[in-house]
Amino acid sequence: MVGTALVLGASVRAQDASGSLNLPSNPQFFAKEDPNNRRAKVIINGEVITGTDVDQRVALIVNASGNKIGDEELQRLKLQVLRNLMDETLQIQEAKVQDVAIDQAEVDQTYARVASQNFGQDTKAMDAYLNRIGSSPASLKRQIRGELSWQRLLRRNVQPFVNVSDEEVRDVIKRMQESKGTEEFRVGEIFLSATEENKAAVFANAQKIVEQLKQGGSFQGYARQFSEASTAAVGGDLGWIRAAQLPAELATPLQQMSAGQLVGPIETRGGFSILLAIDKRQVLTADPRDALLSLKQISISFPKGTTAAQASAKAKAFSDAMQAARGCGTVDPIAAGLGAEVVTNDQMKARDLPAQLQNMVLALTLGETTPPFGSIEDGVRVLMLCGRDDPKSSVEPNFEQVQTSIEDERVNKRAQTYLRDLRRDAIIDYN
C-alpha cells in the first residue's frame, strides 16, 4: 500500500485463512489515502511495472467494451489491471525460478495465431490495430508469455499430483445419465468476494460492472479482469452445468434465464455473483442446433450515396433472383450476373449462427434461402442451405472428457493456492 496509516479504536476479531486478526470496529485514520492516486510505477521482486504497461493493457479492455467506460469506471479498471499485471509478473518470475523456459519463438507463434484468427494471418495488421487503440504488440506478447508460463508451471508442478479415480468418473457419468432430458446451462460468472465489513462497497462495485455490461461491455473481458473465481482466465466460462450443481441462490434465477440474459449481482456465500446465460440444452438429448450445416452466403453491397429507396429496390431484385435459384448448384452464375459475392461454409454448426438466424435456417429445406437481411452500410445477404447433418439422437458422455473436466477443476483450485503463496512472498515497492 502507498503511505502508512495508524488506527485507533475498540477492538473486534476478524478471521482470515491464516488465523485471527485483531481489528478495531471503528478505525480512525491518521493519514488519508486517495485510491486513485497511484505512483508512476510498481516494482515487484525487482521488476518494474510502469503506468504505460497498465494503460496499454487497459486499452484492450476499453476497446472490447466499445469505448463506453466512464472516468470512475476507468480508474477502477486501472487498479484491477495493475493487480493482474502484478500476478502475471509473479507467474513469469516463478517460471524462470523453476527453469520453465518459454521461447520467444513460441510467443511469436501464438501471437501469429491470434493475428490469423482476427486479421487473416497478417501480423502487421494486428500490430497496427494494437498501436491504433493505444496498446502495443509488446503488451499482448507479454500477456501471452504470462499465460504460457503459468500453464507450463501448472502442468509440471500441479497436474502430476492431481488424481481422479475411474470410480469418480463413472459416478459422474452415471449421474449425467440419470439426468437425461433435464436442462443444463452454459454459464458465465463474475464472482467478487466480500466480507461483512466491505459487503456494501463490493455490491456497489458489482452493480457498476453490471451497468457496464448492459451498455455493451465485454463479459469475458470483465471476467478476466475482475472475477476472483478460478474461471477468470477463461472469461468466466463455467462450461455446461446443471442448476443443481450451483448454490440455491444461483440455481433459482438460472432456471428462469434465457440465452444471452444477464442477472446480478446475487449475494452468495462469500461474496456476489453476476451470471450470464450463454446457452441452454437438455442433458444427453440431441439438440437440433448441433446440426452441421453446409451454407452459401450470397451478398451484395451498395455504392456510397445509395438512397434507402434505391437500396430497397436492389434488395428486392436480389431476393427475387435468389428465390428463383434452383439449389446451390445454380447460385454461382446467378450471383455473378448480379455482381454478388458468394462465400461457402461446409462446417457451420447451427448454434454458431446469430440467434435470430438459428431457427430460420433450421427450418429451410435444401436449396432454400433465408429472407434478405443487412443494411445499406453493410450490404444485403441471404443464406442458402446446401446440406445438413443432424446430430445423433443421444450423445453419451465421454470418459476422457469427464475425467479431464474433474482434473481441470482440481488443478484450478490448487493454482489459486499456488498464486496466493507467490503474492504472499513477493517484495513490492511503489515508486
Q: How do residues 114-139 score in pLDDT, each as one tens digit?
A: 888 766 657 888 888 899 999 999 99
* Helix 308-324 / helix 331-338 crossing angle, nearest 10 deg: 160
Q: What integer best gives the mean pLDDT of the chain?
A: 79
Residue with cell 432454400: 368
* Helix 137-157 / helix 399-425 crossing angle, nearest 10 deg: 110
For the ranges 132-136, 180-184, 358-362, the lowest mean pLDDT is seen at: 180-184
In 3D space, the residue among 74, 77, 85 whose CA is nearest the CA of residue 42 turns out to be: 85
Q: How far apart are CA 269 and CA 247, in angstroms?
A: 9
Q: Please state whether beta strands 183-193 and 237-241 pair in parallel, antiparallel, or not at all (unpaired).
A: antiparallel
What are φ and ψ of residue 209, in 5° steps? -65, -45
Q: How far apart are CA 319 and CA 301, in angstroms?
A: 13
pLDDT above 80 (res 232): no
Q: How far apart are CA 145 and CA 237, in angstroms?
A: 22
Which residues lie closer than 8 Å to 352 by C-beta, 6 or more apart? none
Q: How far apart are CA 336 and CA 342, in angstroms?
A: 9
pLDDT of residue 179: 66
Q: DSSP string covering 38-55, please?
A: --SEEEETTEEEEHHHHH
**Residue 373, beta-bridge partner list:** 381
Phi-psi region of 427 (alpha: psi -120 to 50; beta: other; left: phi over 0): beta
pTM, two decimals, is 0.56
pLDDT of residue 92: 93
The burial of 99, by beta-carbon neighbours within 10 Å (0-12 exposed, 13-18 middle, 19 or more buried), is given as: exposed
Q: How far apart are CA 340 and CA 379, in angstroms?
A: 10
Residue-wise pLDDT for 57-106, tens only, equals 888 888 876 666 777 778 877 887 888 899 899 999 999 999 988 899 99
For residue 101, give the C-alpha cell: 523456459
The confidence band for 37, taking pLDDT boundaries of 50, 70 and 90, is very low
For the ranges 9-13, 96-100, 246-250, 290-294, the lowest mean pLDDT is seen at: 9-13
Residue with cell 508460463: 149
Q: DSSP string covering 276-287, please?
A: EEEEEEETTS--
**How many residues are given for the chain?**
431
The confidence band for 40, taking pLDDT boundaries of 50, 70 and 90, is low
pLDDT of residue 27: 63
pLDDT of residue 13: 31
In 3D space, the residue among 8, 65, 3 whose CA is nearest the CA of residue 38 turns out to be: 3
In 3D space, the residue among 119, 108, 249, 148 whose CA is nearest the CA of residue 189 turns out to be: 249
Which residues lie closer than 8 Å to 292 by C-beta, 6 or more apart? 347, 348, 349, 388, 389, 391
pLDDT of residue 159: 85
Do residues 178 and 416 touch, judged by C-beta distance below 8 A?
A: no
3-state secondary structure of 319: helix
Q: How far apart are CA 311 and CA 302, in angstroms?
A: 7
- SS3 labels along 152-183: HHHHHHCHHHCCCCHHHHHHHHHHHHHCCCCE
Residue-wise pLDDT for 268-304, tens only, equals 888 899 988 887 776 666 677 778 888 899 888 888 8
Q: Residues 359-384: what's their mean pLDDT?
A: 85
pLDDT of residue 94: 93
pLDDT of residue 366: 85
The confidence band for 305, taking pLDDT boundaries of 50, 70 and 90, is confident
The confidence band for 195, taking pLDDT boundaries of 50, 70 and 90, is confident
Residue-wise pLDDT for 306-339, tens only, equals 888 888 888 888 888 888 888 888 888 888 888 8
For the ranges 17-26, 141-150, 385-394, the lowest mean pLDDT is seen at: 17-26
Q: How far apart are CA 19 and CA 13, in angstroms?
A: 10
For residue 322, give the C-alpha cell: 435468389
Query: E strands of 159-286, at which residues?
Result: 183-193, 237-241, 262-268, 271-282
